[in-house]
Amino acid sequence: MLTISSITDPAAWNDLLRPLPNAHVLQTWEWGEFKRRTTGWTAERLAFQQAGQTVAAAQVLTRRVGPLGVMYVPKGPALDYTKPDLLAAVLDHLQALARRRGAIWLKIDPDVIAGTGVPGEPDAADDPAGQAVVAALKARGWRFSASQVQFRNTVTLDLTHPAETLLMDMHQSTRRKVRTAEKKDVTIRAAGSEDIPTLYELYRQTGQRDGFLTRPLAYYQEAWGTFMRAGLAQAFLAELDGTPLAHVILLHFGPKCWYFYGASSNEERQRMPNYALQWAAIQWAKAQGYPVYDFWGAPDAFDESDRMWGVFQFKRGFGGRVVRHIGAWDYAPFPPLYWAYETLMPRLLALLRRRKPGHSDVTS
Protein backbone atom coordinates (compact mmCIF):
# COMPACT_ATOMS: atom_id res chain seq x y z
CA MET A 1 0.00 0.00 0.00
CA LEU A 2 1.42 3.35 -1.06
CA THR A 3 1.01 6.61 0.81
CA ILE A 4 1.44 9.81 -1.19
CA SER A 5 2.55 13.12 0.24
CA SER A 6 3.31 16.52 -1.25
CA ILE A 7 6.82 17.77 -0.42
CA THR A 8 7.25 21.52 0.02
CA ASP A 9 10.83 21.73 1.33
CA PRO A 10 13.55 22.02 -1.38
CA ALA A 11 16.30 20.16 0.50
CA ALA A 12 13.93 17.41 1.63
CA TRP A 13 12.74 16.87 -1.94
CA ASN A 14 16.23 16.58 -3.42
CA ASP A 15 17.36 14.32 -0.59
CA LEU A 16 14.54 11.82 -1.08
CA LEU A 17 14.88 11.97 -4.87
CA ARG A 18 18.66 11.50 -5.07
CA PRO A 19 18.94 7.77 -4.12
CA LEU A 20 15.92 6.62 -6.14
CA PRO A 21 16.38 4.51 -9.30
CA ASN A 22 16.17 6.68 -12.43
CA ALA A 23 16.59 9.93 -10.47
CA HIS A 24 17.24 12.80 -12.87
CA VAL A 25 18.38 16.41 -12.57
CA LEU A 26 15.17 17.54 -14.33
CA GLN A 27 13.23 16.18 -11.36
CA THR A 28 15.12 18.37 -8.88
CA TRP A 29 13.51 21.24 -7.02
CA GLU A 30 15.72 23.69 -8.92
CA TRP A 31 14.44 22.59 -12.32
CA GLY A 32 10.83 23.02 -11.26
CA GLU A 33 11.55 26.50 -9.88
CA PHE A 34 13.43 27.47 -13.02
CA LYS A 35 10.47 26.42 -15.19
CA ARG A 36 8.08 28.33 -12.91
CA ARG A 37 10.06 31.55 -13.12
CA THR A 38 10.81 31.45 -16.85
CA THR A 39 7.98 29.67 -18.66
CA GLY A 40 4.96 29.70 -16.38
CA TRP A 41 4.83 26.08 -15.24
CA THR A 42 3.84 25.31 -11.66
CA ALA A 43 5.45 22.39 -9.86
CA GLU A 44 4.07 19.84 -7.41
CA ARG A 45 6.42 17.31 -5.82
CA LEU A 46 4.88 13.96 -4.90
CA ALA A 47 6.61 11.34 -2.76
CA PHE A 48 5.35 7.75 -2.80
CA GLN A 49 6.13 5.78 0.35
CA GLN A 50 5.80 2.12 1.26
CA ALA A 51 6.47 0.77 4.75
CA GLY A 52 7.99 4.11 5.70
CA GLN A 53 10.42 4.15 2.78
CA THR A 54 10.26 6.49 -0.24
CA VAL A 55 10.02 4.21 -3.27
CA ALA A 56 9.05 6.72 -6.00
CA ALA A 57 8.90 10.44 -6.68
CA ALA A 58 7.29 12.61 -9.33
CA GLN A 59 7.73 16.32 -9.91
CA VAL A 60 4.56 17.18 -11.82
CA LEU A 61 4.62 20.40 -13.84
CA THR A 62 1.31 21.97 -14.84
CA ARG A 63 0.69 24.75 -17.32
CA ARG A 64 -2.52 26.41 -18.34
CA VAL A 65 -3.54 26.44 -22.01
CA GLY A 66 -6.48 28.83 -22.01
CA PRO A 67 -9.15 27.34 -19.71
CA LEU A 68 -7.45 23.93 -19.85
CA GLY A 69 -4.12 22.56 -18.73
CA VAL A 70 -1.32 20.17 -19.59
CA MET A 71 0.80 18.14 -17.14
CA TYR A 72 4.36 16.93 -17.52
CA VAL A 73 6.73 14.85 -15.40
CA PRO A 74 10.13 15.73 -16.96
CA LYS A 75 12.47 12.73 -17.06
CA GLY A 76 10.32 11.01 -14.47
CA PRO A 77 8.79 9.65 -12.41
CA ALA A 78 11.76 8.24 -10.52
CA LEU A 79 11.27 4.63 -9.41
CA ASP A 80 12.40 1.07 -10.04
CA TYR A 81 10.72 0.25 -13.36
CA THR A 82 11.47 -3.45 -12.99
CA LYS A 83 8.72 -3.57 -10.31
CA PRO A 84 5.43 -3.67 -12.27
CA ASP A 85 3.20 -3.36 -9.20
CA LEU A 86 5.00 -0.19 -8.09
CA LEU A 87 4.84 1.27 -11.59
CA ALA A 88 1.13 0.48 -11.80
CA ALA A 89 0.39 2.15 -8.45
CA VAL A 90 2.29 5.32 -9.37
CA LEU A 91 0.63 5.52 -12.79
CA ASP A 92 -2.80 4.96 -11.19
CA HIS A 93 -2.26 8.00 -8.98
CA LEU A 94 -0.92 10.21 -11.76
CA GLN A 95 -3.73 9.24 -14.11
CA ALA A 96 -6.35 9.99 -11.46
CA LEU A 97 -4.70 13.36 -10.80
CA ALA A 98 -4.82 14.22 -14.51
CA ARG A 99 -8.52 13.29 -14.70
CA ARG A 100 -9.43 15.33 -11.61
CA ARG A 101 -7.67 18.38 -12.98
CA GLY A 102 -9.15 18.09 -16.44
CA ALA A 103 -5.77 17.89 -18.16
CA ILE A 104 -5.57 17.64 -21.93
CA TRP A 105 -2.63 15.31 -21.44
CA LEU A 106 -0.17 14.04 -18.89
CA LYS A 107 3.30 13.40 -20.31
CA ILE A 108 6.12 11.31 -18.84
CA ASP A 109 9.55 10.56 -20.33
CA PRO A 110 11.60 8.56 -17.80
CA ASP A 111 15.17 7.44 -18.42
CA VAL A 112 14.03 3.87 -19.05
CA ILE A 113 16.29 2.08 -21.52
CA ALA A 114 14.53 0.59 -24.55
CA GLY A 115 17.76 -0.69 -26.05
CA THR A 116 21.43 -0.02 -26.61
CA GLY A 117 23.54 0.45 -29.72
CA VAL A 118 22.57 1.86 -33.10
CA PRO A 119 19.85 -0.25 -34.77
CA GLY A 120 21.35 -2.35 -37.52
CA GLU A 121 24.84 -2.41 -36.01
CA PRO A 122 26.23 -5.64 -34.48
CA ASP A 123 26.10 -4.46 -30.86
CA ALA A 124 22.48 -3.23 -31.00
CA ALA A 125 20.10 -4.95 -28.57
CA ASP A 126 16.68 -4.35 -27.07
CA ASP A 127 16.30 -4.17 -23.30
CA PRO A 128 13.61 -6.61 -22.07
CA ALA A 129 12.81 -4.55 -18.96
CA GLY A 130 12.31 -1.40 -21.01
CA GLN A 131 10.18 -3.23 -23.56
CA ALA A 132 8.02 -4.49 -20.67
CA VAL A 133 7.44 -0.89 -19.54
CA VAL A 134 6.39 0.07 -23.08
CA ALA A 135 3.95 -2.84 -23.14
CA ALA A 136 2.50 -1.79 -19.77
CA LEU A 137 1.98 1.80 -20.96
CA LYS A 138 0.29 0.63 -24.15
CA ALA A 139 -1.99 -1.70 -22.18
CA ARG A 140 -3.12 1.31 -20.14
CA GLY A 141 -3.90 3.37 -23.24
CA TRP A 142 -0.87 5.65 -23.08
CA ARG A 143 0.29 6.93 -26.46
CA PHE A 144 3.82 7.37 -27.71
CA SER A 145 4.19 11.14 -28.01
CA ALA A 146 5.05 12.96 -31.20
CA SER A 147 6.33 15.75 -28.94
CA GLN A 148 9.62 14.49 -27.50
CA VAL A 149 10.40 17.42 -25.23
CA GLN A 150 13.77 16.08 -24.06
CA PHE A 151 16.26 14.04 -26.04
CA ARG A 152 15.02 10.50 -26.43
CA ASN A 153 18.43 8.93 -27.08
CA THR A 154 21.90 9.63 -25.78
CA VAL A 155 25.48 8.43 -25.43
CA THR A 156 26.79 7.46 -21.98
CA LEU A 157 30.28 6.80 -20.69
CA ASP A 158 31.10 4.38 -17.87
CA LEU A 159 33.34 6.36 -15.52
CA THR A 160 34.16 3.39 -13.28
CA HIS A 161 37.07 2.56 -15.62
CA PRO A 162 40.52 4.08 -14.99
CA ALA A 163 41.26 7.35 -16.79
CA GLU A 164 43.91 5.63 -18.92
CA THR A 165 41.29 3.12 -20.12
CA LEU A 166 38.83 5.90 -20.93
CA LEU A 167 41.46 7.65 -23.01
CA MET A 168 42.42 4.47 -24.89
CA ASP A 169 38.76 3.59 -25.54
CA MET A 170 38.25 6.82 -27.48
CA HIS A 171 38.23 6.68 -31.25
CA GLN A 172 41.74 7.26 -32.51
CA SER A 173 40.87 10.58 -34.17
CA THR A 174 39.19 11.86 -30.99
CA ARG A 175 42.19 10.94 -28.85
CA ARG A 176 44.47 12.70 -31.34
CA LYS A 177 42.35 15.88 -31.20
CA VAL A 178 42.39 15.88 -27.40
CA ARG A 179 46.18 15.80 -27.54
CA THR A 180 46.25 18.43 -30.30
CA ALA A 181 44.45 20.89 -28.03
CA GLU A 182 46.97 20.23 -25.26
CA LYS A 183 49.89 20.86 -27.62
CA LYS A 184 48.44 24.05 -29.08
CA ASP A 185 48.36 25.98 -25.80
CA VAL A 186 44.64 25.56 -25.06
CA THR A 187 44.06 25.88 -21.32
CA ILE A 188 40.98 24.81 -19.38
CA ARG A 189 39.68 26.49 -16.25
CA ALA A 190 36.61 26.11 -14.08
CA ALA A 191 34.03 28.88 -14.57
CA GLY A 192 31.50 30.28 -12.11
CA SER A 193 28.47 32.52 -12.05
CA GLU A 194 30.67 35.58 -12.63
CA ASP A 195 31.55 34.09 -16.04
CA ILE A 196 27.94 33.70 -17.24
CA PRO A 197 28.13 36.74 -19.60
CA THR A 198 31.17 35.13 -21.26
CA LEU A 199 29.48 31.73 -21.41
CA TYR A 200 26.42 33.38 -22.94
CA GLU A 201 28.39 35.21 -25.63
CA LEU A 202 29.97 31.92 -26.75
CA TYR A 203 26.52 30.29 -26.75
CA ARG A 204 25.03 33.18 -28.76
CA GLN A 205 27.78 32.86 -31.36
CA THR A 206 27.22 29.13 -31.61
CA GLY A 207 23.47 29.57 -32.06
CA GLN A 208 24.03 32.15 -34.77
CA ARG A 209 26.52 29.89 -36.56
CA ASP A 210 24.55 26.65 -36.25
CA GLY A 211 21.05 28.08 -36.64
CA PHE A 212 19.42 27.27 -33.31
CA LEU A 213 17.34 29.50 -31.04
CA THR A 214 19.08 31.37 -28.23
CA ARG A 215 17.22 33.38 -25.63
CA PRO A 216 18.25 36.66 -23.94
CA LEU A 217 21.09 36.70 -21.40
CA ALA A 218 18.65 36.94 -18.47
CA TYR A 219 17.23 33.51 -19.31
CA TYR A 220 20.64 31.84 -19.05
CA GLN A 221 21.56 33.81 -15.95
CA GLU A 222 18.48 32.20 -14.41
CA ALA A 223 19.06 28.74 -15.89
CA TRP A 224 22.78 28.36 -15.31
CA GLY A 225 22.90 30.52 -12.18
CA THR A 226 20.16 28.55 -10.43
CA PHE A 227 22.04 25.28 -10.73
CA MET A 228 25.43 26.81 -9.99
CA ARG A 229 24.14 28.34 -6.76
CA ALA A 230 22.62 24.98 -5.78
CA GLY A 231 25.89 23.15 -6.41
CA LEU A 232 24.32 21.14 -9.24
CA ALA A 233 26.24 22.69 -12.16
CA GLN A 234 29.87 23.02 -13.16
CA ALA A 235 31.14 25.04 -16.11
CA PHE A 236 34.52 24.95 -17.83
CA LEU A 237 36.08 27.44 -20.23
CA ALA A 238 38.75 26.72 -22.84
CA GLU A 239 41.00 29.70 -23.41
CA LEU A 240 44.00 30.79 -25.46
CA ASP A 241 46.10 33.41 -23.67
CA GLY A 242 43.01 34.40 -21.68
CA THR A 243 40.72 34.66 -24.71
CA PRO A 244 37.60 32.41 -24.39
CA LEU A 245 37.32 29.81 -27.14
CA ALA A 246 34.66 27.36 -25.93
CA HIS A 247 32.72 26.17 -22.92
CA VAL A 248 30.84 23.22 -21.47
CA ILE A 249 28.23 23.37 -18.72
CA LEU A 250 27.59 20.18 -16.77
CA LEU A 251 24.59 19.39 -14.58
CA HIS A 252 25.07 16.67 -11.99
CA PHE A 253 22.77 14.86 -9.59
CA GLY A 254 22.36 11.36 -8.18
CA PRO A 255 24.45 8.87 -10.16
CA LYS A 256 24.98 10.98 -13.29
CA CYS A 257 26.78 13.96 -14.70
CA TRP A 258 25.23 15.41 -17.86
CA TYR A 259 26.89 17.48 -20.59
CA PHE A 260 23.97 19.87 -20.94
CA TYR A 261 25.38 22.88 -22.83
CA GLY A 262 28.34 23.44 -25.09
CA ALA A 263 29.47 26.35 -27.23
CA SER A 264 32.48 27.70 -29.11
CA SER A 265 33.63 30.89 -30.75
CA ASN A 266 34.36 31.26 -34.45
CA GLU A 267 38.07 31.69 -33.77
CA GLU A 268 40.94 29.21 -33.32
CA ARG A 269 38.76 26.19 -33.96
CA GLN A 270 41.75 24.35 -35.45
CA ARG A 271 43.12 24.12 -31.88
CA MET A 272 40.32 21.66 -31.01
CA PRO A 273 39.20 23.34 -27.75
CA ASN A 274 35.94 21.35 -27.63
CA TYR A 275 37.86 18.08 -27.39
CA ALA A 276 40.03 19.34 -24.56
CA LEU A 277 36.93 20.57 -22.75
CA GLN A 278 35.15 17.24 -22.98
CA TRP A 279 38.14 15.36 -21.65
CA ALA A 280 38.47 17.84 -18.77
CA ALA A 281 34.74 17.50 -18.02
CA ILE A 282 34.92 13.70 -18.07
CA GLN A 283 37.89 13.71 -15.69
CA TRP A 284 36.12 16.15 -13.36
CA ALA A 285 32.96 14.01 -13.26
CA LYS A 286 35.03 10.91 -12.52
CA ALA A 287 36.92 12.71 -9.75
CA GLN A 288 33.60 13.73 -8.17
CA GLY A 289 32.59 10.07 -7.97
CA TYR A 290 29.93 10.00 -10.69
CA PRO A 291 29.78 6.55 -12.29
CA VAL A 292 28.04 7.75 -15.47
CA TYR A 293 28.74 10.66 -17.85
CA ASP A 294 25.76 11.38 -20.09
CA PHE A 295 26.43 13.30 -23.30
CA TRP A 296 22.74 14.35 -23.34
CA GLY A 297 21.43 13.82 -26.81
CA ALA A 298 21.62 11.61 -29.88
CA PRO A 299 19.46 11.46 -33.02
CA ASP A 300 15.94 10.08 -32.86
CA ALA A 301 16.63 8.42 -36.21
CA PHE A 302 20.21 7.22 -36.64
CA ASP A 303 20.68 8.54 -40.14
CA GLU A 304 23.23 10.93 -41.62
CA SER A 305 20.41 13.26 -42.70
CA ASP A 306 19.49 13.91 -39.05
CA ARG A 307 20.43 17.43 -37.92
CA MET A 308 22.24 15.98 -34.89
CA TRP A 309 24.40 13.57 -36.85
CA GLY A 310 27.61 15.63 -36.68
CA VAL A 311 27.24 16.29 -32.94
CA PHE A 312 26.44 12.61 -32.41
CA GLN A 313 29.65 11.56 -34.15
CA PHE A 314 31.60 13.98 -31.94
CA LYS A 315 30.06 12.49 -28.78
CA ARG A 316 30.43 8.91 -29.93
CA GLY A 317 34.12 9.49 -30.57
CA PHE A 318 34.72 9.50 -26.81
CA GLY A 319 33.99 5.78 -26.69
CA GLY A 320 30.61 5.77 -24.97
CA ARG A 321 27.60 3.52 -25.38
CA VAL A 322 24.57 4.52 -27.44
CA VAL A 323 21.46 4.33 -25.24
CA ARG A 324 17.93 4.40 -26.65
CA HIS A 325 15.20 5.35 -24.17
CA ILE A 326 11.49 4.60 -24.39
CA GLY A 327 10.80 8.30 -25.00
CA ALA A 328 7.83 10.44 -24.02
CA TRP A 329 4.36 8.95 -23.50
CA ASP A 330 1.03 10.75 -23.13
CA TYR A 331 -1.99 9.82 -21.07
CA ALA A 332 -5.16 11.46 -22.39
CA PRO A 333 -7.98 11.52 -19.80
CA PHE A 334 -10.37 12.86 -22.44
CA PRO A 335 -9.39 11.45 -25.86
CA PRO A 336 -11.51 13.81 -28.05
CA LEU A 337 -9.95 16.83 -26.33
CA TYR A 338 -6.47 15.36 -26.80
CA TRP A 339 -7.17 14.74 -30.49
CA ALA A 340 -8.38 18.30 -30.99
CA TYR A 341 -5.35 19.73 -29.20
CA GLU A 342 -2.83 17.58 -31.06
CA THR A 343 -4.49 18.31 -34.41
CA LEU A 344 -5.33 21.98 -34.11
CA MET A 345 -2.54 23.37 -31.91
CA PRO A 346 0.28 22.72 -34.43
CA ARG A 347 -1.74 24.55 -37.09
CA LEU A 348 -2.34 27.50 -34.77
CA LEU A 349 1.33 27.72 -33.81
CA ALA A 350 2.37 27.56 -37.46
CA LEU A 351 -0.03 30.43 -38.23
CA LEU A 352 1.37 32.51 -35.37
CA ARG A 353 4.93 31.91 -36.53
CA ARG A 354 4.07 33.10 -40.03
CA ARG A 355 2.60 36.28 -38.63
CA LYS A 356 5.36 36.95 -36.10
CA PRO A 357 8.84 35.41 -36.41
CA GLY A 358 9.96 33.63 -33.27
CA HIS A 359 9.51 30.46 -31.33
CA SER A 360 6.55 29.11 -29.40
CA ASP A 361 6.47 25.85 -27.51
CA VAL A 362 3.98 25.01 -24.78
CA THR A 363 5.95 22.01 -23.55
CA SER A 364 9.48 23.34 -23.17
Task: Name the residue range of residue 174's domain.
Answer: 160-290
Statement: the pTM of the whole predicted model exceeds 0.85: yes
Own/partner long-range contacts of 356-362 (Cβ < 8 Å, ≥24 apart): 359/213, 362/63, 362/65, 362/70
Residues 115 and 205 grouped into a single domain: no
Rounded to whole angstroms, what are the CA distances from 324 to 154, 272, 298? 7, 29, 9
Closest by alpha carbon to 283, among 186, 179, 159, 177? Answer: 159
In a domain, 76, yes or no: yes
Residues 227 and 190 grouped into a single domain: yes
Is the pLDDT at 123 greater than 90? The verdict is yes
What's the pLDDT band for 353 if we cut at 50, 70, 90? low
Predicted pLDDT of residue 360: 31
In a domain, 270, yes or no: yes
Going by the DSSP 8-state scheme, the letter that residue 306 receives in this structure is: S
Residues 136 and 103 grouped into a single domain: yes
Question: Around Cβ 279, how many Cβ atoms within 10 Å?
Answer: 23
In a domain, 110, yes or no: yes
- Which three-class secondary structure state does DSSP give residue 340? helix
H or E segment and range at residue 225: helix 217-229
In a domain, 276, yes or no: yes
In a domain, 317, yes or no: no
Rounded to whole angstroms, what are the CA distances from 329 to 40, 134, 198, 324, 333? 22, 9, 38, 15, 13
Residues 193 and 282 grouped into a single domain: yes
End-of-domain residue from the set 240, 269, 290: 290
In a domain, 74, yes or no: yes
Rounded CA-CA distance 184/270 in Å is 9
Rg (CA), the chain: 21
Residues 183 and 111 grouped into a single domain: no
Domain of residue 18, CATH code: 3.40.630.30
Is the pLDDT at 355 greater than 80? The verdict is no
Residues 130 and 104 grouped into a single domain: yes
Residues 270 and 236 grouped into a single domain: yes
Rounded CA-CA distance 80/88 in Å is 11
Number of domains present in the structure of the chain: 2
Rounded CA-CA distance 168/4 in Å is 48
pLDDT digits (tens, 9 = 90+) for 126-156: 999 999 999 999 999 999 998 899 999 999 9
Predicted pLDDT of residue 341: 87
What's the pLDDT band for 199 if we cut at 50, 70, 90? very high
How buried is 206 (Cβ within 10 angstroms: 0-12 exposed, 13-18 middle, 19+ buried)?
A: buried
pLDDT digits (tens, 9 = 90+) for 305-327: 998 999 999 999 999 999 999 99
- Which three-class secondary structure state does DSSP give residue 353? helix
187: which strand partners? 239
126: which strand partners? 115
What's the pLDDT band for 354 if we cut at 50, 70, 90? low
End-of-domain residue from the set 269, 290, 311: 290
